[in-house]
Structure 1
């Protein structure tokens, strides 16, 4: 596996590839939204406008399947932004990878700061093979959703929105939920709430990360010269096609779960 370009910023580890890909993903979503809504027309809508109208209708159907649309219409922007961001993020690691090769440990620096992940990998390689001159590969371009910190961050946003709305809009019903069916169920209900946050982020991360690991494994076949390349090409085409399907499904699943969690705090608890 390739190493991530991690540097120390104060006492924090900062993965530059994640930061780069978050910027790229956000820029693509922003530019696409601007271009798609720039020249709106009722009589002669363009292809991008038709696509955006379809996307909005799709998101409305997701929301209406989880809650009353009169309450859910306020979440159209949130759901649409989430599904676009996650889908584009899932796709970025599929077309190609940007990998650099470090042979000299002194050259493993960015902005004057050492890439600690590369230094550690280099030192471990030298311990195993003292006489060798290891070279470390750094992956700069990947799907941001293949990083656990990103998916957990997205899940945390959904978690805070859902429970913030429940606490402030439906305070009595929301708090009452934790004491049902009996008061001694409070610890279990709290564990259930926290587990939703964890599984929400882990599900997305595991699927996208596993897909990129398999792509990297298939690409390793090209090191076996002609026969490896011949075997790798069809496998890569099939898996990338399947990964597009998985990426689309995972963005849909993430958003629909987010809307379910929101509906549970603002609607379901009101009935208890």
Structure 2
């Protein structure tokens, strides 16, 4: 697998590719939203407006299926944002990738700072007696193929969910942990922790696996002419399937967030 362009500033490591790709994802979602709301019309809505209205209606229906819509209406914007942002992030690594190869450790710098994984790889190669290492660094990839991004998103939802539970249904929130018996408190706590883990890991695992397979197909194309020919239908098929997976995983992440919220703000409902 390719290395990540990580540099260290003030003792803190920053992954430049993740920062860049998160900015690109936000920019794409902003542009789509701006185009959809630029010339809104009731009588003659444009294609982008129809697209955004369809997404809003879709998210509203999903929220209505998990909780009372009167309570869930304030979360429609959150659901739409999650759906669009994660879908765009899932697909950024599909069309192409930007990879730089380094033959000399002196060349592996960003803003004058050394790329940490490349330096480590060169040091490891020198220790093993490899005098001519070659290290590749990926600068363009799906940000959701990085576990720090998906767990960060899951963490934001996790803390928001529990804040809503404590602030809106304090008594029911704390009582939930000792239902139906106080002895089940440890199990209920483990359940909450596992929901955080699975929420982020599910998204990461699916997108990361997709990008790994794309890398394998690209390596097959570089073997010989037969591999190049065989890689074309494989890449086309996998690109199409990855588009489907990206949409499904964005939906799953969004709907799970809405379910977790409903369990805390609407505890009487049986979800």
Report the TM-score, using the length of structure 1 for normalisation.
0.97
**Equivalence map 1:92-131=2 (5 Å):** 92-130=92-130
CA pair 270-48 structure 1, distance change in 2 beyond 3 A: closer
**Residues 56 and 270 of structure 1: is their aligned pair in 2 closer, same or farther, counting only changes over 3 Å?**
closer
CA distance in 2, matches of 1:96, 1:247: 16
* Whole-Å separation in 2 of the counterparts to 1:9 and 1:26: 24
Work out whether 1:207 is the aligned partner of 2:212.
Answer: no
- 2:164 is matched with 165
* Partner Cα distance (2:49, 2:186) in 1: 48
Partner of 2:57: 57
RMSD over aligned Cα, in angstroms?
Answer: 1.2
Moved more, 152-161 or 87-96: 152-161
- Structure 1: gaps (5+ residues): none
Whether 1:177 aligns to 2:176 is yes
**Residue 129 (structure 1) shift:** 3.9
1:155 matched to which residue of 2?
Answer: 154
TM-score after normalising by structure 2: 0.97
Q: Which residue of 2 aligns with 1:31?
A: 31
Aligned residues: 270
Query: How far apart, in 2, do the equivalents of 1:204 and 1:160 lie?
Result: 18
Give the Cα separation in 2 of the matches to 1:269 and 1:125: 60
Q: Offset at 1:70?
A: 0.7
Aligned partner of residue 268 in structure 1, secondary structure: coil
1:131-177: CA deviation from partner (whole Å, max 9, x where unpaired): x3112111000000000000001101111121111100000001100
Report the secondary structure of 1:4's partner residue: coil
Q: Deviations over 1:200-219 (max 9, x none)?
A: 00000000000000000110
State how far apart, in whole Å, the 2-side matches of 1:63 and 1:33 are: 21
Q: Deviations over 1:167-197 (max 9, x none)?
A: 0000000110011111121111111101100
* 1: CA distance, partners of 2:206 / 2:181: 37
State the Cα distance separating 1:269 from its structure 2 match.
5.0
Paired with 1:270 and 1:67, the residues of 2 have a C-alpha distance of 7
